[in-house]
Structure 1
């Protein structure tokens, strides 16, 4: 039986991760821009990054165990391929960013402080050259993640406002009525008939 909507757990994971990822991108930019705010922002950035790593692991496992709704049959092949590729890119970047950040902090010789006395073990040797390479990688991957997030948002809005094909509804935080989808289906039938 086809699935017409992601389950509630997948939706909660999706939207909570979306908020955290956007927060992390803006916190990261602010950390680089303001030396005054940097220490307090770092205290926020590191635990949120580790939380995102845990959430992406949970989300990946959940995604492997649960079927996702199918894309509309009339969606062009290149758009299906682009959707699949962008999801792979999102998952890779969501895994890579916190791991590289953790390794970068380790290579700098600093602990990854979550809260209070709770520290994560280092995952890279203390080495300035490794730190420098990881910092550059973290910066470039953050830019790539921002670009992929913008593409993902653009695709979601395209499906919600232009195609009105129900794709957005599958991950919408609250159930949306079928009115917009029915109007879109009628419009497609009318254009096919003319």
Structure 2
């Protein structure tokens, strides 16, 4: 079984990265919204810790996914419209960027608040900055804004996939589904 993508379809590693990260992103938003509703206490702190751990996991997977993406070919675009290809490339680049920057702002925010980032209790990341309440507030705003950036980019990504599937009736969506091989 070939692990790499071909000119006509995505390989299982690429599909795995795609769907694991999609699930983790949805999970992050659910945890983020839930923990914001909780009063300050042990339960909230436990959910914040989970949120941080999953954020660092997303950062790691995003870096690995970018390395994997650079190391293999990408299937040929189904669309022949140059603007669609350009928008797809730009939106993918923006999504990769925000999946790197978002966890980094969370890590910076924790450091500025003088809270360590423990990753699933296995190890603790070093602080990136000294405690700074003003920086913490700025980073919290940036982190919040980036979360809505992710919502917009993921919404665009899903809408484009559905447009290709329902309106264009092409293989764009099907070739990223985990159960579809090759084409």
Contact 1:31–1:41 under 8 Å retained in 2? yes
Deviating more after overlay: 109-118 vs 13-22: 109-118
Deviation at 1:117, TM superposition (A): 5.8
Gaps of 5+ in 2: 1-5
Structure 1 equivalent of residue 11 of structure 2: 7
Q: Deviations over 1:52-91 (max 9, x none)?
A: 01000100000001111111253x2221121111101100
What are the residue-to-residue correspondences of 1:175-186 with 2, within 5 Å? 175=180
Residue among 63, 67, 72 paired with 2:69: 63
Contact 1:5–1:169 under 8 Å retained in 2? no
Residue 17 (str. 1) matches residue 21 (str. 2): yes
In 1, the alpha carbon distance for the partners of 2:141 and 2:151 equals 16
Structure 1 equivalent of residue 162 of structure 2: 157
Structure 2 equivalent of residue 119 of structure 1: 124
Contact 1:169–1:176 under 8 Å retained in 2? no
In 2, the alpha carbon distance for the partners of 1:21 and 1:91 equals 12
Residue among 22, 34, 38 paired with 1:30: 34
Structure 1 equivalent of residue 150 of structure 2: 145
Runs (4+) of structure 1 exceeding 4 A deviation are none
Residue 40 (str. 1) matches residue 12 (str. 2): no
Structure 1 equivalent of residue 136 of structure 2: 131
Q: Deviations over 1:116-137 (max 9, x none)?
A: 3621111122111111111110
Give TM-score scaled by structure 2 length.
Answer: 0.90
Deviating more after overlay: 129-138 vs 32-41: 32-41
Q: Deviations over 1:23-80 (max 9, x none)?
A: 1112112222222652221121011000001000100000001111111253x22211
What are the residue-to-residue correspondences of 1:38-117 with 2, within 5 Å? 38-74=44-80, 76-116=81-121
Deviation at 1:176, TM superposition (A): 6.5
Change (3 A) 1:130 1:165: same
Deviation at 1:169, TM superposition (A): 2.2
Q: What is the Cα-based RMSD across aligned positions, in Å? A: 1.7
Query: Which of the two has higher C-alpha Rg?
Result: 1
Give TM-score scaled by structure 1 length.
Answer: 0.85
Q: Which has the higher contact order (CA 8 A, sep 6+)?
A: 2
